[in-house]
């Protein structure tokens, strides 16, 4: 029987120092994918070696792509071109990675062979109809469980035609799946979305040479333009930096510098939200790396206050809401999060999970259909919480533990390896000598 690993986090007096967070997960996925589809050799530096990205790496190896691992965070990929992938001899296991499954669906839907995508128990519960439907409208033949809405997915690829798709949700994964399918066929494929979702795919596809245009309501790709191998530098992941941004704000007597963090405007909602709450976060040394803006982030302890969060900020911070809710619990006054129904279909129902976890520590928090309402300023007590197998829940509760009245025990923490390998070691390192 699998032993559930637990971690105990104790309150600390202050955080000091400079830190580098792991490479951006979203960009790491795409670097592997687009380098594999390019002609020629690509070298990727700063890659995140989390379990999710390794699922993408293994998927492309199973499609005949030669990938050489030079160092812990460096790969050399010999691309096979848009028409060079091979039919896999076995089912492709996407692990816990929704990005792998949804983007691979778009890639494989246009390939002239049969493939099957599956994943772990959590991924097999997540909604896949959101990519199956637009791909089917392009002519894709995809079969899934539960009325064609859940994995495993059987894909009989090829025979697609370009399309215009109006997405009902702002989702980078849906947008990317459709663009990746359209990129491989003759003609122009356009995706429209209600709000701008993260644009890593568009930036990196252009970096690799795709004929792709972004506009205020979406993006358009012209197909059959061959990608060319490139040298890619992956910036630090703002979603990983988010945990230490909040830690630096809520733990008294803290001042930390997070170096080389990606600040893509479609992802930097966490910075805007925390600054609106009164957080001291300064962006320094701003520059560009492989088509992505990056900066060093200087964060200092701050007295936070509650705010209203909704609208266009939501897709720009969708992965950070577990730790944003922790910040709200430490802020004076009421924070209300709305328009975030997407949180209910992540690795777990993150609205329900964070309400249960923070509530167990004494927070005044209530779920809303599309968000939550948090009355902050109440010192959290210690206690035991469950991660529900969700990496962002586990790490968010660890940050809550740093500022609680007594220790917090978190159950089922192995899941943090999917996006932030070394998180617990870094947390131990910065906490050493600073316990209250």
Instruction: State the Cα–Cα distance between residues 300 and 328, nearest whole angstrom.
Output: 17
DSSP summary character for residue 420: -
Q: Is 237 a catalytic residue?
A: no
Q: Which residues are CB-neighbours of 385 under 8 A, at least 6 positions away?
A: 356, 357, 360, 361, 397, 408, 409, 410, 411
E strand segments, 251-389: 255-262, 280-289, 292-300, 308-309, 333-337, 364-368, 371-376, 383-386
- Roughly how many angstroms between the first and final C-alpha of the chain, as a whole number? 37
CA atoms 198, 314, 235, 106: torsion sign: negative
* Helix (H/G/I), strand (E/B), else coil: 36: helix
The catalytic residue among 24, 319, 390, 412 is 319
Instruction: State the Cα–Cα distance between residues 218 and 382, nearest whole angstrom.
Output: 45
E strand segments, 305-426: 308-309, 333-337, 364-368, 371-376, 383-386, 408-411
Put the strands of the sheet holding 364-368 in their side by side order.
308-309, 333-337, 371-376, 364-368
Which run of H or E residues covers position 356? helix 350-360
Backbone angles phi, psi at 292, to 5 degrees: -120, 135
Instruction: State the Cα–Cα distance between residues 84 and 64, nearest whole angstrom.
Output: 8
Residues serving a catalytic function are 319
């Amino acid at each position: 029987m699998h032993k559930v690993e637990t971690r105990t986090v104790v309150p600390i007096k202050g955080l000091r120092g400079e830190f580098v967070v792991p490479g951006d997960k979203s960009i790491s996925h795409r670097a592997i994918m687009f380098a594999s589809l390019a002609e020629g050799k690509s070298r990727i530096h700063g890659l995140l070696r989390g379990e999710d990205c390794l699922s993408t790496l293994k998927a492309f190896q199973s499609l005949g792509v030669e990938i050489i691992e030079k160092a812990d965070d460096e790969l050399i990929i010999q691309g096979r071109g848009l028409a060079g992938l091979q039919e896999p001899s076995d089912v492709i296991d996407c692990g816990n990675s929704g990005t792998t499954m949804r983007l691979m669906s778009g890639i494989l839907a246009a390939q002239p062979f049969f493939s099957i995508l599956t994943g772990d128990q959590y991924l097999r519960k997540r909604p896949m109809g959101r990519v199956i439907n637009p791909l089917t409208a392009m002519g894709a033949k995809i079969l899934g469980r539960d009325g064609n809405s859940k994995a495993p997915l059987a894909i009989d690829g090829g025979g697609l035609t370009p399309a215009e798709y109006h997405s009902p949700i702002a989702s980078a994964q849906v947008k990317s799946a459709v663009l990746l399918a359209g990129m491989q066929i003759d003609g122009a494929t356009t995706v429209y979305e209600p709000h701008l979702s993260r644009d890593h795919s568009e930036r990196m596809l252009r970096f690799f040479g795709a004929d792709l245009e972004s506009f205020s309501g979406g993006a358009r790709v012209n197909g059959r333009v061959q990608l060319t191998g490139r040298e890619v530098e992956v910036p630090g992941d703002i979603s990983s930096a988010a945990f230490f941004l909040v830690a630096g704000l809520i733990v008294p007597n803290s001042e930390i510098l997070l170096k080389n963090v990606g600040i893509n405007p479609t992802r930097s909602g966490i910075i805007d939200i925390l600054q609106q709450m009164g957080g001291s976060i300064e962006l320094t040394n701003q520059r560009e790396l492989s088509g992505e803006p990056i900066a060093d982030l200087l964060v200092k302890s701050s007295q936070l206050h509650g705010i209203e969060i909704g609208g266009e900020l939501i897709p720009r911070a969708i992965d950070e809401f577990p730790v944003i809710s922790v910040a709200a619990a430490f802020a004076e006054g009421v924070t209300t999060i709305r328009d975030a129904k997407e949180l209910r279909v992540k690795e777990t129902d993150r609205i329900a999970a964070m309400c249960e976890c923070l509530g167990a520590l004494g927070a005044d928090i209530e779920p809303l259909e599309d968000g939550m309402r948090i009355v902050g300023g109440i010192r959290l007590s210690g206690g035991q919480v469950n991660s529900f197998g969700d990496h962002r829940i586990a790490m968010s509760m660890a940050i809550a533990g740093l500022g609680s009245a007594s220790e917090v025990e978190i159950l089922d923490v192995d899941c943090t390896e999917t996006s932030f390998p070394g998180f617990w070691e870094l947390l131990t390192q910065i906490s050493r000598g600073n316990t209250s």
